[in-house]
Amino acid sequence: MHGRVKVKTSAQKAAEKEAERARKLAEFQKIKKKLYEPSENSTIPTFKQLLESTDSFIPPMSEYLSQSSTLAYYMKDWPILWQLRLTALQRMTSSNQEKTLETLENELELTFNCLVESPKSYSTWAHRRNILKLIRKCDEEKGLEILKTEIGLTEKMLMSRTEDQVENQGRNFHCWDHRRLVLKALPEDVKTEIQLTTKLIQTSFSNFSAWHYRSKLLNLEEEGVVENEMDLVLNAVFTDPSDASSWIYHRHLISNAPCSQDFTRILQDHQESLKELLVLEKEEDNNVSTLRSISLSLLEINSRLKTDNWEEKSKFMLNELIDIDPIRRGYYLSRISKF
């Protein structure tokens, strides 16, 4: 009917998708053949010629980089392709510096576009780090400037929340590892890293990577740190009691925070709050995972406070866990045997 948007059927969508896949495959095979098999009329060096050549970077190599970039888009986890591109780029570093830097920055743009589509590609991340090293080798000052920009880029990727960007990258260990490796070349800035974990945690309490990184950055001996962290994690566990990430961090704080009167008071407050939460969860949801998380934190608090009959109370809680979580019976019995 007039004025109505025509919606494609599932069959039409599938056919279009298959046609696009066939087009890409044909293009991929055509370029691969050109770069693998020598031709009298071609000025583009083949993979084999590139590996065997000992010459410096020559003009036809730019055409090789241009052609093979299409292969990189289609086959992002093809290590030999990235290695060959790196070989070509390394040989061109003896040429004009300005042209070299421009080409290397274009290579960074290529890897970025590949990572947007495939953010967990081992080969692409590794190649990107190699290019950053080449830039520093070519121009140290420019290289450090780009590294600072790289830190901002990883933050944007880690903060991304939509599939159209790079899925939910807060848990992308490739990006986390890349950021840590880049930071080694820059002056230490723990404060900025802590601020990043705060933003990620406030965006999603279930971001285990951010909680873990935070645990490595903070000095629990510093004044006010433990108090602030205990408030943050208590808010997290009450907001979403079923999420395990914040509970693991909670137990980390309980086990590793230094003893003090203030910390004892905080533990007592947490103990009362968690007891109330445990009762509520038993009445309303009775989720085994949540009950286990609450009980394990209470057990850690018991072991730190060591109040009257704390061992008997702990044994009682562990026996309760055996009833509600029998699949981990052996673990609970092991803990009971240590009292």
d(CA 311, CA 306): 8
Q: C-alpha distances in angstroms, 101 versus 82, 87, 166, 216?
A: 18, 16, 27, 36
- Confidence band for 31, pLDDT divided at 50, 70 and 90: low
Predicted confidence (pLDDT) at residue 180 exceeds the cutoff of 80:
yes
Domains held by the chain: number: 2
Asked if 52 and 124 sit in the same domain, the reply is yes
The answer to whether residue 3 sits within a structural domain is no
- Residues 180, 248 within the same domain: no
Judged by average pLDDT, the poorest of 81-95, 157-171, 217-231, 324-338 is 157-171
Q: How many other C-beta atoms are found inside a 10 Å radius of the C-beta of residue 29?
A: 11
Supply 260's token pair.
């003090």
The answer on 72 and 139 residing in a single domain is: yes
Neighbour-count burial of 5, counting CB atoms closer than 10 A to its CB (0-12 exposed, 13-18 middle, 19+ buried): exposed
pLDDT number for residue 165: 44
- Estimate the crossing angle of helix 10-36 against helix 60-74, to 10 degrees: 150
Q: pLDDT value at position 156?
A: 87
Mean pLDDT of 202-210: 89
Final residue of a structural domain among 147, 172, 193: 193
**With the C-alpha atoms ordered 57, 62, 68, 69, is the resulting torsion angle positive or negative?**
positive
36 and 156 in a single domain? The answer is yes
Evaluate whether residue 209 is within a structural domain: no
Are 264 and 120 part of one and the same domain? no
Per-residue pLDDT tens for 59-98? 456 777 777 788 888 888 888 889 888 888 887 655 578 8
Residue written as token pair 């083949």? 46
Q: How confident is the model at residue 48 (pLDDT cuts 50, 70, 90)?
A: low
* Residue range 155-181: mean pLDDT, rounded: 73
- % of the chain exceeding 90 in pLDDT: 54
Residues 259 and 327 in one domain: yes
Classify residue 204: in a domain, yes or no.
Answer: no
Asked if residues 74 and 84 have their Cβ atoms less than 8 Å apart, the reply is: no
CATH code for position 237: 1.25.40.120
Residue 14 inside a domain? The answer is no
Tell whether 211 is covered by a domain: no
Work out whether the CA dihedral 5, 6, 11, 12 comes out positive or negative: negative
User: Per the structure block, which two tokens stand in for 129?
Assistant: 């780090």
- Residue where one domain finishes, among candidates 193, 212, 235: 193
Q: Are 204 and 170 a contacting pair, CB within 8 Å? A: yes
Q: Are residues 320 and 269 in the same domain?
A: yes
Note the pLDDT of residue 194: 95
Do 68 and 180 share a domain, yes or no? Answer: yes
pTM: 0.79
pLDDT of the residue at 163: 42
Q: What is the pLDDT confidence band of residue 38, given thresholds at 50, 70 and 90?
A: low
Amino acid in the structure at residue 19: A
| Domain coverage including residue 244 | 222-339
Per-residue model confidence as pLDDT tens digits over 131-163: 999 999 989 999 999 999 999 999 988 887 644
pLDDT, mean of residues 96-108: 88
What's the confidence (pLDDT) of residue 157? Answer: 86
**What mean pLDDT is predicted for residues 313-320?**
94
Is the pLDDT at 58 greater than 90? The verdict is: no
DSSP state string for 201-261: HHH-TT-HHHHHHHHHH--TTSTTHHHHHHHHHHHHHHH-TT-HHHHHHHHHHHHHSPP-H
pLDDT at 110 over 80: yes
Question: What value does the mean pLDDT of the chain take?
Answer: 84
Question: Over the range 170-202, which residues count as b (16 or more CB within 10 Å of their CB) and which as e?
Answer: bbbebbbebbeebbeeeeeeeeebeebbeebbe
pLDDT at 326 over 70: yes
- Percent of the chain scoring above 70 in pLDDT: 81
pLDDT of residue 93: 56
Residue 88 pLDDT: 80
CA separation, residue 223 to residues 85, 197, 234, 255, 259 (Å) = 51, 20, 19, 17, 12
